[in-house]
Amino acid sequence: MSEVSDAVWRPLEIVPYGVVLHVPAGWEALPPVPANGPEILRATGGPGRNLIVFKIPARAMTAARVADVAQEKLAAHGYGDFTRAETRFAGQPGVMLDFVTRNSGGTVVYRTREYFAVRGHAAFVLGMGSTTWEEHLPLIEQIAARFEFAE
């Protein structure tokens, strides 16, 4: 299911946090995992199709600076091969950050993309990854394009 532009999308309103995440029909929301820190929602579309949304204090930082801090923390946990680009996310100027997870032999086993945007005093991060990156990247981009701030 890499191309879902014509599929039925359904909104997952995250009311207390003022955002709406749109996912393909058949996906389901999962509760946050407190050990992950400021996570506000997880969702899955089955094996290998997962996403996570974080809301963190922006502390007057731009989306680019929030991404810098995230990259520093991720690098300290062993993630690598970071690439980034400016993008629009949630209707705001934002940043996307790509990185990989390697096994003990150095082989890339998972690729992740995180999108960052700031609204007011909060930064929002949407993270999605895959073991089959080329297959899932179109879906990742479509989910990110539909992420929105609620009124």
Report the pLDDT value the prediction gives residue 4, as an integer from 0 to 100.
59
Please give the pLDDT value at position 6: 62
CATH number (3.30.70.100, 3.40.50.2300, 2.40.10.10, 3.40.1000.10) of 22-149 reads 3.40.1000.10
- Splitting the chain (151 residues) into consecutive groups of 10 residues, what average pLDDT does each group show? 66 92 93 87 89 94 97 96 97 96 94 96 95 92 95 77
Domain ranges of the chain: 22-149
> In the prediction, which pLDDT does 1 show?
42
What local confidence, expressed as pLDDT, does residue 48 receive?
Answer: 80
Rounded-to-integer distance, Cα 112 and Cα 137, Å: 10
Beta strands in the chain (DSSP E): 9-14, 19-24, 28-30, 39-46, 49-57, 80-89, 92-102, 108-119, 122-130, 148-149
pLDDT at 36: 85
Q: What is the pLDDT of residue 2?
A: 45
